[in-house]
Every structure is written in structure tokens, then in C-alpha cells.
A and B are shown apart, each in its own frame.
Chain A
Amino acid sequence: MTTTKTRDPAAESSRPAPQADLPRLGWRGGLRYLWTQLTSMRTALILLFALALAAIPGSLVPQRRISPVRVADFINEHPMLGPLYDNLGLFGVYSSPWFSAIYLLLFVSLVGCIIPRTIVYAKALRARPPKTPLNLVRLPAYAAVEIADRDHDVLDRAAAALRRRHYRVDVRDDSVAAERGYLREAGNLVFHVSLIFVLIGVAIGVLFGFRGTSVVIVGQGFSNNLTQYDDFSAGARFTDGDLVPFSVSLKGFDVKFETGPVQRGAARLFRADVEVTDGPGAAPRQEILEVNKPLHVGGTTVHLIGHGYAPKVTVKDAQGNVAFSGPVVMLPQDGNFSSMGAIKAPDARPERLAFEGFFLPTAALNEEGPHSIFPDALNPALFVNVWYGPPKVETGKPENVYSLDTAGLSQLKEADGEPVRIGLKVGDGVNLPDGKGSIQLDGWVRWVKLQIGATPGVPISLIALGFAVTGLCLSLFVRPRRVWIRVRGGEAARNVVEVGGLDRADARAGLTEDVAELAAELSRRPEDVSPR
């Protein structure tokens, strides 16, 4: 009933309450009600569930940020579902409004839970342990012993015994109240506060960080400015001036694959020899870049995240002039590095030439056509189709270097109308039909994909994670307990010492024994108590 009212507290206050017997909340009360609801444990539970559920589709549906190609494939294959998913944000779950809403609400709820609990805890730290209950015998653990002779100091001894056991002790008239396990709630608060700091660290990384990749051919280099990146993404607060002006020169790249019968073709070694120059004028230093060993330059890290082949090709035009010569980066399509790419010779005259096809490091032919059967270059070959067309006006429009835009081009065909297919081994060259020119495979070279990035918030998140795990352990393993001890006058100058105990966490642990042990200790004479 009240939920309908609080959903629109402003409207509610402007018209009479539907039922007179309900107390009017007003907009302030409505907000307070909403806040109480949001910060309740039940809401936190539901939000946690929602977070778990919302995270799942992102692991099953391809994600744009991880594999844009698979997203495009998915949309092509599912004409109905594709656009629907797209509208729902299922291709970018983790940046979608609904996912963000869940975790932001969760963190608001968290803050709303932490603040009052911190205040309560701060008060509890200063407060005396709670008053001794009237009936200790009603507590979950209870023991009583008689003391043989009159012992006025028994309460002091009880206090000392409890202090030795790390209790906070408060001696009252005829009783001692003691409590321990304050660290449990401290750990709990530290854990939850740490989670907020983890998120802050992540947010700083997202806002101020950047990440980009660059393909570098062996023998060539990379210098850290925006034009050298193949793709680049940065946070809202990142500026180009944040790029450290270093450069990396790739001297060599070793890669080894499994040649034995088990997991044949699996990678066994990636190792890049690089020369790093920290800034203009700095002396170059030799470094080795491996998969788990990134380079650190200033606050920027350089990771080796991929590699592939670049066939070295020379293309001559119909007039016999070299129209293109050099390595062409091709992108691996499968685990055996069948690599696809395009060779473009826009300067060929009278007609420009272009080639599209595969580089196969270990070529084999079967009914499926040419493909690679091993990732290392044991039998390299290049298979291409040929395209030609009138020279293109230089537009300056960026184009994809890895694929061929065949607009304005015609495919070169045999007399029988079949497209011309050219297969080349290293050192082979062929003349194109109709005297259109020639192509030669001079050799091949490897390239590596470098990922260059900076995530400034990482130290904050890391330290916060350390605190989170420590706090979590405290909050789960520290067991708060209260113990009260009272001395009652018994018959004939004998006193009865009562000990009662109460555990405040539900994992009850040895309370009965501790209480019995305390009682036993107090029943002994002071001189019998051996100092610990």
C-alpha cells in the first residue's frame, strides 16, 4: 500500500490521501522510506542476485568490446534476434544502462548500509559492555561454582582472567560484564568500504587510462603517438599529452610450437627482442618481451598479445615498374595461422592492381582447398586472386588494410571465365595473364601485436583488494562473545560464582567449554592460578 504512495511522493502530497487512517508520509518521509528500503539487507540480496543474473548473458552472447567480428556474424546469422539483442544492449552487457544501474544501486545501498553501521560501531567501541542480565542461568551457556571461603577479590580475579582472554571488561557492583570480538564488525566494515575503493580504482582506470594495439613487423618499430595505433580507446579524462613519448624497435621474434604428438601445434614460446628508447634523446636499452613479462615504460605497459605472418611481396605493373614491394601483414584465421589479407598496388599503371588471398605457413591441399596444417612456417605459400581497375583518385579516406574493397575493380579471369588463382612458394614469381604485370613472393617475416596501455587506478584497487580479503577473514572468523560473572552470597560465608556466556555470531564455537573453564579457574584459590 505504501509503495504506491512513495513511488510518486510529490504527486501524493498535492492531493488528499486516499485513506485517512494511513499516516501521511510526505515527500520527505517518502524519500526516507525509499532510502530505508534501498539500504535494507533484503534489497541488497535482491540486487546481488540481479547482478549475478545480469552478468550471465555477457558470457554467452558475443560482446562487442571483446570480439566485434563475432557480434557481426551473430547479427548476420540471426536476423530476428540480432537487432533485438542489439536494442537490449546484450552485445555490450557490461556497459549497458541496466547493468550499470544494478551495480550503482548496489553500491548506493552499500554506502547506505555502511554509514549507519559505522556510527553504531563507533558508539559500541566506546560503550561499556552490556549490563549483566538478572538471570544468568537463562543464557545459552552457564556454570556456577561455590567458593570455599570468603573471597572478596573474586571479581577482580574474574576481571583479570577475562582480560587475559582478550575481553573488554567492565566491573560493576556484584558482577563483571565482558565482551570480545569487536574486530568482526570492524572487518565487516573494512571489507565493504574496500569494495568501494576497488570500484574507485576501476573508475580512475576507466577515466584516465587508455589502451591501444599496434601491429609491428620484425625489423620495424613503434613510437608512442596516436597515429601509430591500429585501434585506440581512452577514458574521458585522457589527453594525448598523457602518452609517454617512448619508442620500441622490434629486433627479432622467436616463436616455438609443439611438434610432438600431444597438443601438436600448441604454442610453447613467444619471445620478442626489443630495443626501447624511453624518450627523445634517451639511450636505447635492450629488453626481452614475453607473454607474462610486459615492458614498463613510465606508467605505460607494453604487452605482447599476438603474432602472425607478413609475406614479403614484389608487384610489378604492366610497364615492368615496381608498384609495390615489402611485407604485407595478414591476419591469422585459425590455430594453424592460415592468414588472410590483401596486397594493394594502387600505383600500378596503366591499371592499378590488387590481390586478395591467404598466406599459409605450412600449406597443404585437400578437398577443402589450400589451408595450413601447422602454425610454424615449414612450407610457406601464398594463394591469391587478382583484381585490377582504373587508377583511383586519392581521397584520403581511410581504408581497411587487411581486406580489399572491390568497388571499381574487376577480377582477373582465365579464358574460360574462371577467376585467376595464383599459388606461390618462396622465391616463385608469376606473370599475370594479359600482360597485366607480375607478382613474386620474396619471403616472409613475422609480426607481433603489441598492446600499449596505462591503467592508473590499479594500485588503489590492489591495496583495496588486500584490505577486502583481510576484512572478510576477520568478519567471518572472529567470533564475538559476551560473558558475565556474578558473585552471589551463599550459605555459611560461602559465595557462589555464576558464569554465563552468549555468542553473537551464529557459528557457535566452544562457548560451553569456555564458560566451564572460567568457572573452574575462579573456583581455585588465587595462589593456585598459575600465571600465564
Chain B
Amino acid sequence: MTYEYYSSLALVSSVVVYALAMLAHAAEWAAARRLGVTKPAARELVDVVAAEMRRPELAQTGPELVEGPDQPDSGLAVDSENDPAASRRVEQFGRIGVALTIIGFLLSVAGVVTRALAAHRAPWGNMFEFTITAMVLFVGVYLILVWRAGLRWLGLPVTLLAAVGNGLAVTVFYVAVAPLVPALHSVWFLIHIVAAAISGAAFTVGGVMSILYLIKKRAEERGTVRGYFGRLPDSRRIDLIAYRFLAFAFPLWTFTVAAGAIWAQYAWGRYWGWDPKETWALVTWVIYACYLHARSTAGWRGTKAAVIAIIGLASFWFNFVGINLLVSGLHSYAGI
């Protein structure tokens, strides 16, 4: 029995546990259907201020360093007396979901660590290893948000993505442990890839929130905020949190691209060569630049900006999955 074996075992288990967590969160959402329609619109502004007053800790710091006491989310105050049993069920399923997510997270951390031990190096040498590391960061950020800021309502999309991500990693992207190709022997290997993984995780959180924002906003405008969506913060607040994540990720992504250019100058003798991966990194950067500009342009805030953020996320993931598997270039490290 080797480290590599334990790594695979832990990762496969994490997929199963994440899938169970997803089911628990799905049950949480389903149970919330009983909670009925939430009164929209009129209380929006009050809610924003109330949320701001109750939760200064999230507002003051960046998304990574959220501090302050654990408090129930502002959205949870809605309609809980409607049906106490349903409310209790929602709470139970939610807690089960988070507990399972923590187990899945620990398993995937174990998977990454044993993978590193098996390979005797940082586990970021190929697509499989990058995916499992990025998923650890992604779920880690989510769990910090649950712990510090009560963002449990992200549970369903996060566990879904985590299960799919790790699931793809262990099935499609999997490659056995092997040493690095010479091009990766560089200190920039650590800098470039860690920055890419962190900004990828933050882009993903921001993108998920933007999707929830669009759904919630639509429901608010139609006055049909039902079930679990009644438990989400109001759309303006979701938009704000999404913005914080993307505003954190964008400079880091700028740095990732810059670090990649510096490394390319060392490794290939040119800092920019329009390699497909480089091109799509720039495309992603430009799309998120659009997002930031859109947020400060009249007529582009809100829905349009959120759509741009989602396009940006799609571009990021296409650059990772599509370019690795479909297009040949200098960044062909997938090893599949």
C-alpha cells in the first residue's frame, strides 16, 4: 500500500461524500419549499442596511480573511414561523450538508497531501493535480465563509461543483504519479500555479454567486421568491459578495498572467507568444476587466455585470479544460 493508493482512495471517497453533501443540501432546498412565498421588494432596502449592520465583519475585510462571530444570515429571519417543522428540517439538512462537506474536504486535503508525498514534490504538475488542489481551495474558502459569515446557502452549488470537479479529476484527468517534465523545474512553477489555483477558486465562488444573483433578482422582480431563495440574502447583497470575490481574484489573476510571462521569458525566451493558454488567460483577464468596468458604468450594473462575470468564469474553465484537452500548445501538461 503506497501513498499513491491512499491518495486515490481519499479522493474517490471525497467524491462520494461531496455527492452525499450535495444530496443533503438538495433536501435542504426541497424542505424549504414548504416555507412559502417571501414578501419581496418592499423590505429590500431595510434588509441591506440590516445586513450591513449585523455583519460588519464581512464588509470590513477581504473575502479570504473574514473575521467576527458566527451569526445567522440575514435572509434566515424570513418566514421561519410559517412552518416550524419545515424550518427545522431545512436546518437539519443544512447542517448535515455542511458536516458532510467538512468530511469531504478533509478527505480531499488528505488526497492532495498523500499525492504530494507520493510524488515528492508540489502536487501541481498536471491537470489532475491542479484540479484536486483547486477544489481543496474552493471548498476551503466556502467552509471559511460558512463558519465566519454564515454563507451556508452556497452549499448546493459548491458541493455540486466539488463533486463534479473531483469526480472528473479521478476519472477523466487521472494520471499516475510521475516526475515533472524539465520545463516545470522552476520556482515559478510554485508561484504561477498557486496564484492560478487561488484566483480560479475565487472566480468560481464569484461566478456561482453571480448565477444565484441572477436567479434571485429575477424572482424578486417577479415577486416570486419562493422556498430556499427566500433564505438567500437579497440580490443586492449577493451581488456585493460576488464583487468582493472577483475584485480579490482579478489582481491575483493579473499577477498570475504576469508571473507566467516572466516564467515564459526564462523557459522559452519570449514572455508572450500567443500560445492558446496564454491567449485564453488574456481573454479571461479582459472579460473580468469588462466586469469591473461594467460595474462602474451606468446601465451595465447588476444583471449585465453578472452575466459578464459568468462569461468570465466560463472562459476560465474553458482555458483549463478545453484548451488542455482540445488544443495543442506549449502548456500541454495534462499528461492524459
Interfacial residues, chain A to chain B (CB-CB below 8 A): 41-42, 44-45, 48-49, 51-52, 55-56, 58-60, 63, 65-66, 93-94, 202, 211, 258, 260-263, 266-270, 290-294, 301, 303, 305, 451, 453, 455, 458, 461-462, 465, 468-469, 472-473, 476-477, 506-513
Contact A292 B175 (CB under 8 A): no
- Bound complex: CA A465 to CA B255 (Å): 8
Extra inter-chain contacts (11) besides given A292-B183, A511-B52, CB under 8 Å? A42-B300, A44-B293, A52-B286, A56-B279, A59-B276, A66-B273, A258-B178, A262-B176, A262-B177, A506-B240, A510-B60
- Bound complex: CA A266 to CA B180 (Å): 9
Measured CB to CB, the nearest residue on chain B to A476 is: B247
Contact B181 A507 (CB under 8 A): no
Contact B271 A455 (CB under 8 A): yes
- Bound complex: CA A462 to CA B299 (Å): 36
Residues on B with C-beta less than 8 A from A49 are: 286, 290
Is B151 part of the contact surface with A, judged by Cβ < 8 Å?
no
Contact B274 A292 (CB under 8 A): no
Residues on B with C-beta less than 8 A from A291 are: 182-183, 185, 267
Residue in B188, B269, B297, B300 whose CB lies within 8 Å of A303: B269
Residues on B with C-beta less than 8 A from A63 are: 274
- Bound complex: CA A266 to CA B336 (Å): 12
Q: Given known contacts A42-B297, A262-B178, A508-B59, is B258 in contact with A469 (CB within 8 Å)?
A: yes
CB distance from A208 to the nearest CB of B (A): 15
Q: Given known contacts A453-B270, A472-B250, A509-B59, is B290 in contact with A290 (CB within 8 Å)?
A: no
Residues on A with C-beta less than 8 A from B251 are: 469, 472-473, 476
- Bound complex: CA A279 to CA B280 (Å): 42
Contact B271 A506 (CB under 8 A): no
CB distance from B283 to the nearest CB of A (A): 5
- Bound complex: CA A467 to CA B299 (Å): 31
Contact B258 A292 (CB under 8 A): no
Contact B279 A58 (CB under 8 A): yes
Residues on A with C-beta less than 8 A from B95 are: none
Contact A469 B254 (CB under 8 A): yes
Contact B295 A506 (CB under 8 A): yes
Is B262 part of the contact surface with A, judged by Cβ < 8 Å?
yes
Contact B269 A453 (CB under 8 A): yes
Residue in B188, B250, B263, B274 whose CB lies within 8 Å of A66: B274
Residues on B with C-beta less than 8 A from A56 are: 279-280, 283
CB distance from A291 to the nearest CB of B (A): 4
Contact A468 B254 (CB under 8 A): yes
- Bound complex: CA A509 to CA B250 (Å): 19
CB distance from A184 to the nearest CB of B (A): 12
- Bound complex: CA A393 to CA B270 (Å): 42
Contact B254 A262 (CB under 8 A): no
Measured CB to CB, the nearest residue on chain A to B177 is: A262
Is B72 part of the contact surface with A, judged by Cβ < 8 Å?
no
Please provide the 9 A-B residue pairs with the shortest distance between their CB atoms, ordered closest to farther: A303-B269, A59-B276, A509-B59, A59-B279, A262-B176, A52-B286, A292-B186, A262-B178, A263-B178
Bitwise, B149-190 to A at CB < 8 A (1) or not (0) is 000000000000000000000000001111101110110100
CB distance from B69 to the nearest CB of A (A): 14
Contact A48 B289 (CB under 8 A): yes
CB distance from A308 to the nearest CB of B (A): 16
Is B5 part of the contact surface with A, judged by Cβ < 8 Å?
no
CB distance from B292 to the nearest CB of A (A): 8
Give the number of A-B contacts (CB < 8 Å). 152
Is B327 part of the contact surface with A, judged by Cβ < 8 Å?
yes
Bitwise, B280-320 to A at CB < 8 A (1) or not (0) is 10110011011011111101100000000000000100000
Contact B182 A58 (CB under 8 A): no
Residues on B with C-beta less than 8 A from A477 are: 62, 247
Measured CB to CB, the nearest residue on chain A to B285 is: A52
Bitwise, B33-67 to A at CB < 8 A (1) or not (0) is 00000000000000001001100100110100000
Contact A510 B182 (CB under 8 A): no
Residues on A with C-beta less than 8 A from B213 are: none
Residues on A with C-beta less than 8 A from B272 are: 202
Contact A211 B269 (CB under 8 A): yes
Contact A267 B181 (CB under 8 A): yes
Q: Can you identify 7 A-B contacts, CB atoms within 8 angstroms?
A: A45-B297, A59-B276, A59-B327, A262-B178, A268-B182, A476-B250, A476-B251
Residue in B53, B182, B292 whose CB lies within 8 Å of A270: B182
Contact B269 A45 (CB under 8 A): no
Residues on A with C-beta less than 8 A from B279 are: 55-56, 58-59
Residue in B265, B268, B274 whose CB lies within 8 Å of A58: B274
Residues on A with C-beta less than 8 A from B262 are: 462
Measured CB to CB, the nearest residue on chain B to A67 is: B328
Contact A262 B295 (CB under 8 A): no
Residues on B with C-beta less than 8 A from A507 are: 59, 240, 243-244, 247
- Bound complex: CA A469 to CA B185 (Å): 26
Contact A292 B269 (CB under 8 A): no
- Bound complex: CA A512 to CA B56 (Å): 9
Bitwise, B236-252 to A at CB < 8 A (1) or not (0) is 00001001100110110
Residues on A with C-beta less than 8 A from B258 are: 465, 468-469
- Bound complex: CA A60 to CA B326 (Å): 9
Residues on B with C-beta less than 8 A from A52 are: 282-283, 286-287, 290, 315
Residues on B with C-beta less than 8 A from A266 are: 178, 181, 335
Residue in A41, A270, A512 whose CB lies within 8 Å of B296: A41
- Bound complex: CA A52 to CA B293 (Å): 14
Residues on A with C-beta less than 8 A from B275 are: 66
Contact B287 A263 (CB under 8 A): no
Contact B265 A458 (CB under 8 A): yes
Measured CB to CB, the nearest residue on chain B to A255 is: B182
- Bound complex: CA A44 to CA B290 (Å): 9
Residue in A93, A294, A468 whose CB lies within 8 Å of B269: A294
Contact B266 A263 (CB under 8 A): no
Measured CB to CB, the nearest residue on chain A to B293 is: A45
Residues on B with C-beta less than 8 A from A513 are: 53, 56
Residues on A with C-beta less than 8 A from B181 are: 266-268
CB distance from B251 to the nearest CB of A (A): 5
Residues on B with C-beta less than 8 A from A93 are: 274
- Bound complex: CA A508 to CA B51 (Å): 11
- Bound complex: CA A196 to CA B287 (Å): 19
Contact B185 A45 (CB under 8 A): no
Is B323 part of the contact surface with A, judged by Cβ < 8 Å?
yes
- Bound complex: CA A472 to CA B188 (Å): 22
